[in-house]
Amino acid sequence: MLDPVWRLARRARNIPRRLALVGMRLPPLRRLLRFLLDLPFDPYDSGFRADPYPFYHRLRERAPVYRSPFGVWFVTRYADAVALLTDPRFNHPDHRAQAQHPQAGGALALVRSNMMITRNPPDQTRLRRVVADVFTASFVADLRPRIQAAVDLLLDRVEKARRMDAVTDFAAKLPVAVIAGAFGIPSDDAARCQTWARPMSVLFDLAPTRAELAGAEAAVGRIAEYFRGLIGERRKWPGADLISALVQAQQSEGCLDDDELLANCILLFIAGYETTVAFVGTTILTLLRHPAAWKALGSDPGLLQSGVDELLRYESPIQTFGRQAQEDVVLGEKRIRRGQTVLVLVGAVNRDPAKFPDPDRFDLARRNNHHLAFGHGIHACLGQGLSRLEGQVALETLVRRFPGLRLGDRPPVWRAEFAIRALDSLPVAW
């Protein structure tokens, strides 16, 4: 997401990465030193990844709307985040115009510039309406049997071993089975789609390296070719799946072009996969670190609904939402200039004590839990119902089948990305 300075710092091992806090211009030395001494921030540091919340609290207390030494603004208060995400003066950069540049060719530019989450009204409104008309609450509810079957199958495979990696054996396999079914993707192809989805997650990260972007370009090219084939098949032989419904909407209403259809099919697949992997993995870790909550879910399944939202608040899968100011705007008593980038730090916002009393306390029964894990405003996640449903089914089944689930002998391993808070590995046993 954010520019060459971070990428340079990640490549240059002799330069502390915290010296490269996003942006293009070197700041005045005094402002840089003050930041480094008071608020050191290295989102790729393993300690920060394991527990970013002490830093978020310090940043909120000292500078809730904070301009980093390199020009990017960070927002850490709930009220400011809501104001930002509903203010039409903040939107996304014009990726479509960038993609039309002669040097911007490739599948990556084409897909990113046509996703509804990177477009602005009126195009965003049009694309979102088309997807929302297809990806309805009833469509999601009808997926429950498929989700339950996928959960049961995955747990059947590991039950006798009495141990598993909750990420690689469960969280990473569940959503691909569900979303592949929703798309009508044959089971033999689901694993290939999974391998393509992972490198594409860097598209939403803070500062992907050149190698990571090259990997994402290759992955986007492969998945785009595969989805073009699926779309062509659905035009000839439609079925009762998501792609067929979007193809039908295109043919009957003419409401999206071929590039938009392709890009948003890919978006739905990536979002449905990556965020659910992150959510299920961190959910299991959080509950096993709070044994009383794990037992409470076993004795009172009615806690599942509020519990899932508390888990989303406590460890939000998506950690940043970025916007660009289209004119000078005052936010939190700070003047943000036209063209400047603002990042909502979701992990900080969802632990703002002004909105959530005792925010670091994990409370399954927390009420009025209006977290921003799925965003807010016109870009709020359309797939949040599916994510909640997968979390509820996975949790209910795990608690019922493995009531003695516990953390394994090896510690959890966090993924290196900043924008997605996810685990690479979580050994558990029972």
**Structural domains in the chain, sorted by start:** 3-429 (1.10.630.10)
pLDDT at residue number 2: 43
Arithmetic mean of pLDDT, 151-177: 95
Burial class (CB in 10 A: 0-12, 13-18, 19+), 202: buried
Give residue-wise pLDDT tens across range 90-129. Answer: 998 766 655 554 444 578 888 888 999 889 999 999 999 9
Alpha carbons 342 and 72: distance in angstroms, whole number: 6
Amino acid at 55: F
pLDDT at 187: 77
Q: What is the mean pLDDT of residues 225-248?
A: 93
> In the chain, pLDDT over 90 holds for what percent of residues?
62
Q: Coil, helix or strand for 123?
A: helix
Average pLDDT (130-141) is 91
Q: Given a cut of 80, is residue 356 above it in pLDDT?
A: yes
pLDDT score recorded for residue 99: 53
| 371 half-sphere exposure, CB direction, 13 A CA radius | 28
Query: Is the pLDDT score of 3 beyond 90?
Result: no
Contact status, residue 53 vs residue 47, Cβ threshold 8 Å: no
**Torsional sign, CA 219, 225, 226, 227:** positive
What percent of the residues of the chain are helix, what percent strand, and what percent coil, each to the nearest 5? 60, 10, 35
The DSSP output letter for 22 is: S
Q: What is the mean pLDDT of residues 201-228?
A: 84
The residue among 366, 343, 412 whose CA lies nearest residue 90 is 343
Structure tokens given for 128: 């979102």
Strand ranges across the sheet with 406-407: 163-165, 427-429, 406-407
- Work out the average pLDDT over 327-356: 96
Asked if 370 and 78 touch (Cβ cutoff 8 Å), the reply is no
Residue 417: pLDDT band with limits 50, 70, 90: confident
Each residue of 51-92: pLDDT tens digit? 999 999 999 998 999 988 767 899 999 999 999 999 999 998
DSSP letter at 71?
Answer: B
Tell me what the mean pLDDT of segment 160-165 comes to. 96
pLDDT at 314: 98
Give the residue from 11, 23, 84 showing the smallest Cα distance to 376: 84
Q: Which pLDDT score, from 0 to 100, does residue 361 have?
A: 97
pLDDT band at 38; cut points 50, 70, 90: low
Q: What is the average pLDDT score of the chain?
A: 86
Total H helices, total E strands in the chain: 19, 12
pLDDT, mean of residues 267-271: 87
Q: How confident is the model at residue 171 (pLDDT cuts 50, 70, 90)?
A: very high
Query: Which token pair is 137?
Result: 């609450």
73 DSSP assignment = E
DSSP 382-427: TTHHHHHHHHHHHHHHHHHH-TT-EE-SSPPEE-S-SSB--EEE-E
**Higher-confidence position of 414 and 104:** 414
What residues pair up with 334 in beta bridges, in sequence order? 331
Produce one character per residue of 384-413: b if its CB has 16 or more CB atoms within 10 Å, e if not: ebbbbbbbbbbbbbbbeebeebebbeeebb
What is the pLDDT averaged over residues 385-409?
A: 95
* DSSP, res 28: P
What is the band of 325 on the pLDDT scale with cuts at 50, 70, 90? Answer: very high
Indicate if the pLDDT at residue 1 is higher than 50. no
Nearest residue to 309 (alpha-carbon basis) of 356, 379, 365 = 365
pLDDT of residue 23: 38
Residue 191 tokens read as 């694993």
Name the strand (E) or helix (H) holding 145.
helix 144-158
